[in-house]
């Protein structure tokens, strides 16, 4: 997966926006203004941080060498994924979906209903 494919996939999800809240290098994807993925636009190979259920985060880190504790993030809830070709794009998309779903699940009811209406 490359940065363009990552961006296209994230933006295809309901209620997602992209922004650069930290600097001009760190692209952030948010659902209903809550971050679910961030990446350095110039990282080679592509690396990104995604939110993850704490138990699953540990399991993924043990099973895949391309998954590490979230760089500069709360390592209990975030993983850094390196797109080094060792896992399929489908699996990468599954991890992005999981991150998106974790954030949506934590939204207040009012924002969940607003998201449903989009």
pLDDT of residue 64: 98
What are the structure tokens assigned to 92, written together? 């990468």
| 3-116 is classed CATH 3.40.30.10 | no
Distance of alpha carbon 70 from alpha carbon 101, whole angstroms = 18
Q: What is the pLDDT of residue 7?
A: 97
Cα–chain-centroid distance for residue 48? 7
| pLDDT (0 to 100) of residue 46 | 97
Residues in the chain, pLDDT under 70:
none
Which residues are registered as beta bridge partners of 80? 49, 68
User: What's the confidence (pLDDT) of residue 49?
Assistant: 98
Helix (H, G, I), strand (E, B) or coil at 49: strand
pTM of the model: 0.95
pLDDT of residue 101: 98
Q: Where exactly are the structural domains of the chain? A: 3-116
């Amino acid at each position: 997966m490359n940065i363009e494919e990552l961006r296209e996939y994230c933006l295809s999800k309901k209620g997602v926006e992209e922004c650069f809240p930290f600097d001009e290098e760190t692209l952030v994807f948010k659902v209903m203004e809550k971050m679910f993925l961030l990446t350095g636009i110039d990282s080679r190979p592509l690396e990104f941080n995604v939110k993850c259920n704490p138990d699953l985060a540990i399991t993924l880190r043990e099973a895949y060498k391309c998954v590490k504790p979230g760089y500069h993030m709360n390592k209990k809830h975030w993983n850094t994924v390196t797109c080094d070709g060792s896992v399929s794009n489908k699996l990468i998309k599954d991890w992005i979906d999981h991150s998106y779903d974790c954030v949506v699940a934590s939204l207040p009811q009012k924002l969940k209903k607003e998201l449903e209406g989009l």
